Amino acid sequence: MKHKKALIGLIIGLAVVAIGLGVFIGLEIRSHGDFGSAPEGEIDDEKVVAVEDSGEVTIIAVGDVLMHTPLLNYAKQGNGKYDFNLIFSETKDESTAADLAVCNQETIIAHDIAPDGGIKFIFNTPDAIGEAEIAAGYDLILQATNHSYDYGVEGILGTIAFWDSHKADATMIGLYDSQKRRDTIEVLEINGIKIAVLNYTYGLNGFSLPSDKQYLLTILNNGNMSKIVDDIKRAEDLADFTIVFPHWGIEDQVGKPVQAQVNWAQTFTQAGADLIIGTHPHVCENIEWIESENGNRALCYYSLGNFASNQEELPEVLGGMAKVKIVKDFTGVHIDEKSTGVIPLVTHNVHTASFTNKVIVYKLSDYTEALAKEHTIRKRFDSSFSKAKLDELANKVFGKWILE
């Protein structure tokens, strides 16, 4: 985890120096509120607490990492090895700079199962994808998706084993190997702010969990609603800020969410969620503030679209990088709206050989018409594909939320 404590340490140090100078030269240090100054030679505990209780966290989050067979073929290095680092190379500055970087790992990562790029619509991605995510600075990995049960219990347990072996580098949520782990709320403490994180999926592509292993993941359905609400309420008791990451919605529905998403967003907010970041539709959807009947308020990104895949429609190659700044100050913990929004992304895809495609993800602001002319969509499917069309769609879906 990239806990950037240097700034807070500097502030505390300067506060101590200032207090010391006040003692030695008789300078009276006064507060800007109702706090009185401490007697000469004593430290005002309330002032020190005020400094220690302040902080900020910058979060970025991206959508679906979905490694289809053409991407697996390009990443093959021989001897059973794969290298996916190129995919993350052009956005790595953003993910490594964030205090918390989140990505949705759409497919399982089960070492003992052969790689599968979805020829029959089930997937298993080599370990190297998780290693590439870690190398790119991603600290929090979401694994509760409609593909979580593609290879049954074995696939889920294999994925948990992979992330458990890398727990010093990243935290995975959404999949669990016991009821105890499922019921334990994951709380990350970053820069003095406690952030609870929860991950659920709408379903499993027709598969069902074994009756005695319902703890493996949690489905967003009416039967689990009270359990999910309880999760959020417990998270609120444990943390300063709660984020829910739902895998929900309808594939390829651009812009406006479906009613089920709206209903769940209200449920999450009513229970106490502060931020909702959705995935699954493979296209981008709107961003808005949710206000519940009890007065709670949460920011909702309905869908960040794809981060990397071999899907080849224009809306499927436009993604979003959510960027959220959380601030802790004398008023409490809240989202800094001026520093919060989305950075549009584009999945650049070049066909290199039979059933083999090279993918690199760019910020849309860095993308060019020259690159668009190389894109496999332009070359093979749609001669009108352009950066201008991507910009137009980004503005239509995200509007005022675009940061760059």
Q: pTM to 2 decimals? A: 0.88
Quote the CA–CA distance of 100 and 275 in Å, as a whole number: 14
Q: Are residues 200 and 305 in the same domain?
A: yes
Q: Are residues 199 and 258 in the same domain?
A: yes
Q: Are residues 194 and 94 in the same domain?
A: yes
Q: Are residues 169 and 257 in the same domain?
A: yes
Helix (H, G, I), strand (E, B) or coil at 323: strand
Residue 20 lies in a domain: yes
Residue 312 lies in a domain: yes
Quote the CA–CA distance of 153 and 206 in Å, as a whole number: 15
Q: Are residues 47 and 108 in the same domain?
A: no
C-beta of residue 13 within 8 angstroms of C-beta of residue 51: no
**Half-sphere CA count of 307, side-chain side, radius 13 A:** 26
Residue 1 lies in a domain: no
Its domain, for residue 225, covers 55-347
C-beta of residue 213 within 8 angstroms of C-beta of residue 157: no
- Rounded to 5 degrees, φ, ψ at 239 are -125, 170
Residue 218 lies in a domain: yes
Q: Map tokens 């509760």 to a residue.
A: 144
Q: Are residues 85 and 203 in the same domain?
A: yes
Q: Are residues 42 and 134 in the same domain?
A: no
C-beta of residue 206 within 8 angstroms of C-beta of residue 223: no
Q: Are residues 74 and 30 in the same domain?
A: no
Residue (of 275, 270, 246) closest to 260 by Cα position: 246
Q: Are residues 87 and 31 in the same domain?
A: no
Dihedral sign for Cα atoms in the order 225, 230, 236, 239: negative
Q: Where are the beta strands (DSSP E) in 202-239?
A: none
Structural domain ending residue among the three candidates 297, 325, 347: 347
Q: Are residues 46 and 170 in the same domain?
A: no
Q: Are residues 19 and 112 in the same domain?
A: no
Helix (H, G, I), strand (E, B) or coil at 391: helix
Q: Which amino acid is at 233?
A: K
Q: Are residues 20 and 74 in the same domain?
A: no
Residue 277 lies in a domain: yes
Helix (H, G, I), strand (E, B) or coil at 279: strand
Residue 275 lies in a domain: yes
pLDDT computed for residue 52 by the predictor: 60
Per residue of the chain (404 residues), give pLDDT as tens.
444 334 334 344 444 334 343 433 332 322 333 323 333 333 334 333 344 689 999 999 999 999 999 999 999 998 899 999 999 999 999 999 999 999 999 999 999 999 999 999 999 999 999 999 999 999 999 999 999 999 999 999 999 999 999 999 999 999 999 999 999 999 999 999 999 999 999 999 999 999 999 999 999 999 999 999 999 999 999 999 999 999 999 999 999 999 999 999 999 999 999 999 999 999 999 999 999 999 999 999 999 999 999 999 999 999 999 999 999 999 999 999 999 999 999 999 999 999 999 999 999 999 999 999 999 999 999 999 999 999 999 999 999 999 98
Residue 369 lies in a domain: no
pLDDT computed for residue 53 by the predictor: 80
Quote the CA–CA distance of 67 and 125 in Å, as a whole number: 7
Residue 86 lies in a domain: yes
Quote the CA–CA distance of 204 and 227 in Å, as a whole number: 19
